[in-house]
């Protein structure tokens, strides 16, 4: 039997719990790798319904604080939000949402898996925000895990989008295994260009009425470079439909000063549609988006973990199993 086949057989028996699962970006990657997700959870019923449409019935909706018992598992993953440190939404350092990691820690101690993976916004890794990251690292080490963290950019792992996120990986201290983060697959270090928007969006409708926000572009929207060329990855896909990037068919932007951009020429311009955002996040076109409003779908997609990025991180755990 080949080494690859041995890994696949081992992974197929790895019981996994997924917390803060959203619509299933992380768990789509897990399922494709062969992991057995035995229980998942998210507070959004719409996200849970979308998860059931695409991943399976194992997800339960509700706040994690309402759950006290969990199935046995060897692997725990979680993408808990820290809204106060995201670049795409409100920033409140004291927001109770910033401390959902305490519930992840509670489940970690209750289940005692062999390993865990956490994904979160990269804003907590810098400046005054670093204390929140350090608190998490301290908790997980005190729970009995060797913990590493790293900021990864999705465009280096086959996602057609610039998206920097913090990943925390822990391995139980009694196990003889040292986790190493994956090396970039695309970018300057590899001599392979990142996946372009054209490669992902080619063939989709140019003007999908009803699938994008057609509000005017207000001053705040044009305070950033919201458009990248067809040959580039997209800017970061966010969860608010008003702030998603411009479609590359839109006219180029010209910088006037630090916080002001204008269209360099006349022409039709629009924000990305939700199906385009999903494609730029790395979801397959077969993924079903039928739950909630169009605005809800943007939120689910923007809050999701890009499946190819999560797959790259988890793949480096194969030897552990």
Q: In whole angstroms, what is the distance from residue 144 CA to residue 105 CA? A: 11
Give all strands (DSSP E) within 109-268, no chain letters: 115-121, 145-153, 164-172, 253-257, 260-263
The DSSP secondary-structure symbol of 64 reads: G
Helices (H) and strands (E) in the chain, counts: 9, 9
31, 11 contact by CB (below 8 A): no
Q: Is the residue at 196 inside a domain?
A: no
Quote the pLDDT of residue 9: 65
Q: Does residue 40 lie within any of the structural domains?
A: yes
What's the pLDDT at 89?
Answer: 44
**pLDDT, position 128:** 80
Burial (CB count <10 Å: 0-12, 13-18, 19+), residue 268: exposed
The DSSP secondary-structure symbol of 90 reads -
Q: Would you state the structure tokens that stand for residue 155, as one six-digit string?
A: 């465009």
What is the residue whose two structure tokens read 């969990």? Answer: 70
Q: Taking a C-beta distance cutoff of 8 angstroms, is the pair 170, 147 a contact? A: yes
Q: How many domains, the chain?
A: 1
Evaluate whether residue 36 is within a structural domain.
yes
Please give the Cα distance from 178 to 148 (Å, whole number).
Answer: 9
Give the separation between CA 169 and CA 140, rounded to whole angstroms: 10
Q: How many CA atoms lie within 13 A of 157 on its CB side?
A: 24
Residue 60 lies in a domain: yes
Q: Which residues, at least 6 apart from 219, have a Cβ–Cβ distance to it below 8 Å?
A: 260
**What amino acid positions are annotated as catalytic residues?**
82
pLDDT at res. 214: 96
- Predicted confidence at residue 88, as pLDDT, reads 45
Report if residue 79 sits inside a domain.
Answer: yes
Rounded distance between C-alpha atoms, residue 310 and residue 252, angstroms: 32
For residue 164, what are the domain limits? Answer: 3-187+305-320
**CATH for 131:** 3.40.50.150
Whether residue 275 lies inside any domain: the answer is no
List strand residue ranges (DSSP E) for the chain, in order: 15-19, 36-42, 59-61, 75-78, 115-121, 145-153, 164-172, 253-257, 260-263
Task: End-to-end CA distance of the chain: give it in Å, rounded.
Answer: 16
Q: Find, among 42, 127, 37, the residue nearest to 79 by Cα.
A: 42
Classify 258 as helix, strand or coil. Answer: coil
Residue 106: inside a domain? yes
Report if residue 84 sits inside a domain: yes
* Residues in contact with 105: Cβ distance below 8 Å, sequence separation at least 6, in sequence order: 136, 139, 140, 143
CB 81 within 8 A of CB 20: yes
Sheet harboring 145-153: ordered strands across?
59-61, 36-42, 15-19, 75-78, 115-121, 164-172, 145-153
Show pLDDT as tens, one digit a residue, over the chain (321 residues).
555 555 566 787 899 999 999 999 999 999 999 999 999 999 999 999 999 999 999 999 999 999 999 999 999 999 987 655 454 444 455 555 668 999 999 999 999 999 999 999 988 888 888 898 999 999 999 999 999 999 999 999 999 999 999 999 999 999 999 999 999 999 998 999 999 999 999 999 999 999 999 999 999 999 999 999 999 999 999 999 999 999 999 999 999 999 999 999 999 999 999 999 999 999 999 999 999 999 999 999 999 999 999 999 999 999 999
Q: Please give the pLDDT value at position 240.
A: 96
pTM: 0.92
């Amino acid at each position: 039997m080949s080494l690859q086949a041995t890994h696949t057989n081992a992974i197929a028996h790895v019981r996994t719990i997924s917390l803060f699962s959203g619509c299933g970006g992380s768990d789509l990657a897990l399922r494709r790798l062969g992991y057995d997700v035995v229980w998942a959870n998210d507070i959004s019923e719409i996200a849970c319904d979308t998860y059931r449409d695409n991943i399976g019935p194992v997800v339960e909706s509700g706040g994690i604080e309402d759950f006290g018992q969990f199935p046995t598992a060897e692997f725990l993953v979680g993408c808990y939000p820290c809204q106060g440190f995201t670049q795409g939404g409100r920033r409140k350092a004291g927001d109770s949402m910033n401390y959902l990691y305490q519930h992840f820690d509670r489940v970690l101690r209750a289940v005692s898996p062999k390993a865990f993976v956490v994904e979160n916004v990269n804003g907590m890794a810098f400046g005054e925000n670093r204390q929140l990251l350090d608190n998490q690292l301290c908790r997980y080490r005190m729970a009995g895990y060797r913990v590493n963290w790293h900021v990864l950019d999705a465009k280096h792992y086959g996602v057609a989008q610039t998206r920097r996120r913090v990943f925390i990986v822990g391995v139980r201290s009694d196990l003889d295994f040292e986790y190493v983060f994956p090396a970039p697959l695309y970018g300057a270090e590899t001599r392979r260009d990142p996946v372009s928007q054209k490669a992902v969006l080619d063939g989709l409708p140019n003007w999908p009425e009803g699938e994008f926000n057609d509000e005017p572009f207000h001053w705040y929207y044009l305070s950033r470079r919201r458009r990248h060329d067809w040959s580039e990855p997209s800017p970061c896909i966010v969860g608010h439909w008003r702030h998603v990037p411009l479609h590359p068919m839109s006219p180029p932007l010209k910088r006037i000063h630090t916080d002001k951009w204008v269209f360099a020429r006349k022409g039709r311009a629009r924000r990305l549609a939700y199906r385009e955002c999903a494609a730029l996040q790395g979801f397959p076109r077969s993924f079903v988006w039928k739950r909630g409003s169009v605005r809800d779908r943007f939120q689910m997609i923007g809050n999701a973990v890009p499946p190819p990025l999560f797959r790259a991180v988890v793949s480096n755990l194969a030897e552990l199993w």
